[in-house]
């Protein structure tokens, strides 16, 4: 059972990342039952939500002649181009309808700057702009974070790595996550998390 200094951070369980969505993660909706089982066992639950304006820099459609999943150079470095997804106010940006959102103490929206993508729950991709989540958690005495959601090899990965760099103890709930696995990115993400002392567990071991 997680202690009083723990929080569950649920990353981007939104319609566009689930089957049928604009940027579907394979088997993405399978995380919902596991996450719903986890939530009641944590004193605090945070949900993150990709919340892009139309014409966002990360959309391939914003770069004439470019295709989704190509990489381009932008002011803050390499940027993967994505299909338009999680556009503010659309059904695709909404949480999966079966996700128990009422359990959330905080819903953090990210990726709202039209010129900067935001994978991590803690920093935008320019690596300078903070979301404020670290201060919120620290102010509540949270020291240990459990991560789940979508996708393991992008937003979950970046969030967990940033949390470790900020001094939080981190655990990935493996069966409550799913990955995109773009050119082997899932295996590389797992290796990188292990190298940064992020623990791995299963939902049944948490509850």
CATH number for the domain harbouring residue 94: 3.40.50.850
Residue 159 lies inside a defined structural domain of this protein: yes
Which pLDDT value is given to residue 123?
Answer: 97
Q: How far is the C-alpha of 201 from the C-alpha of 147, rounded, in Å?
A: 10
Which pLDDT value is given to residue 182?
Answer: 83
Residue 158 lies inside a defined structural domain of this protein: yes
Which pLDDT value is given to residue 1?
Answer: 73
Sequence-separated (6 or more) residues with CB below 8 Å from residue 107:
46, 47, 48, 49, 101
Sequence-separated (6 or more) residues with CB below 8 Å from residue 163:
9, 121, 122, 134, 145, 147, 170
Residue 137 lies inside a defined structural domain of this protein: yes
Which pLDDT value is given to residue 183?
Answer: 85
Domain containing 99 equals: 6-52+84-206
Which pLDDT value is given to residue 96?
Answer: 98
The series of mean pLDDT values per 10 residues for the chain, 207 residues long, is 93 98 97 97 97 98 96 94 97 98 97 96 96 97 98 96 98 97 91 97 94
Residue 131 lies inside a defined structural domain of this protein: yes
Residue 79 lies inside a defined structural domain of this protein: no
Residue 183 lies inside a defined structural domain of this protein: yes
Which pLDDT value is given to residue 207?
Answer: 85
pTM (whole model) above 0.85: yes
Residue 77 lies inside a defined structural domain of this protein: no
Residues noted as catalytic: 12, 110, 155
**Distance between first and last Cα of the chain:** 6
The count of C-alpha atoms lying within 13 angstroms of the C-alpha of 71, restricted to the half-sphere facing its C-beta, is 6
Residue 63 lies inside a defined structural domain of this protein: no
- What residues form DSSP beta bridges with 64? none
**Structural domains of the chain, count:** 1
Could you count the other beta carbons within 10 Å of the beta carbon of residue 64?
Answer: 6
Which pLDDT value is given to residue 185?
Answer: 92
């Amino acid at each position: 059972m997680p202690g009083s200094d723990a929080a569950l951070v649920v990353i981007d369980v939104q319609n566009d990342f689930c089957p049928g969505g604009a940027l579907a993660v394979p088997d993405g909706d399978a995380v919902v039952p596991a996450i719903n089982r986890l939530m009641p066992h944590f004193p605090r639950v945070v949900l993150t939500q990709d919340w892009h304006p139309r014409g966002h820099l990360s959309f391939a459609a914003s770069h004439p002649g470019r295709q989704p999943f190509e990489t381009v150079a932008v002011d803050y470095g390499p940027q993967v181009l994505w299909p338009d997804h999680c556009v503010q106010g659309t059904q695709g940006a909404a949480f999966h309808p079966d996700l128990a959102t009422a359990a959330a103490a905080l819903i953090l929206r990210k990726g709202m700057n039209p010129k900067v993508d935001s994978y991590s729950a803690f920093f935008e991709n320019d690596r300078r702009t903070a979301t404020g989540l670290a201060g919120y958690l620290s102010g509540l005495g949270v020291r240990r974070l459990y991560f789940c959601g979508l996708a393991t090899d992008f937003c979950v990965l970046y969030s967990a790595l940033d949390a470790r760099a900020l001094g939080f103890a981190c655990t990935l709930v493996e069966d409550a996550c799913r990955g995109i696995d773009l050119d082997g990115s899932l295996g590389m993400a797992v290796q990188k998390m292990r190298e940064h002392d992020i623990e791995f567990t299963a939902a049944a071991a948490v509850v």
